[in-house]
Amino acid sequence: MTSILIVDDDQQIAELIEIYLKNEGYIINKAGDGLEALRIMEHTPSDLIILDIMMPNMDGLEFCKQVRKNNHVPILMVSAKVEDMDKIIGLITGADDYMIKPFNPL
C-alpha cells in the first residue's frame, strides 16, 4: 500500500487530509514539525510527503532541504503563503508541487 507522510502543525488540517486519504486506501503517518517528520522517516518510508512550510522547530523549507540530501520522494508543499516568490522558493528548495491553503479537499 502507498504510505503518505503529512507534516503540518495545524492538527485540524492534518486530520482533514488524513481522513480523505485514508478513505482512498492510503497508509498515513503524521508529524507536527520537520524534526518529528525526520524521525519518522528514519524508520518508516513514505511514497509521498504533504508538507506545510510554517511550523515550529524545523520549518518545511529546512525539512525539504534535509530530505533532498538523500531521498527523492515526491513532496507536495501545502501552505498559506500565496506570493509567487513563496511558490518559487518552495519549488527551488525541492518540492515537486505547491498548493495554497485553504483548499477544497474534494
CA distance linking residue 3 with residue 26, whole number of Å: 6
The pLDDT assigned to 47 comes to 97
CB atoms within 10 A of CB 86: 17
Boundaries of every domain in the chain: 3-100
**CATH code reported for the domain at 3-100:** 3.40.50.2300
Predicted confidence at residue 22, as pLDDT, reads 96
CB proximity list for 88: less than 8 A, separation 6 or greater: none
Note the pTM of the prediction, 2 decimals.
0.92
| Strands (E) located in 1-106 | 3-7, 27-31, 48-51, 75-79, 97-100
Tens of pLDDT, residue by residue, the chain (106 residues) = 799 999 999 999 999 999 999 999 999 999 999 999 999 999 999 999 999 999 999 999 999 999 999 999 999 999 888 788 989 999 999 999 999 887 776 6
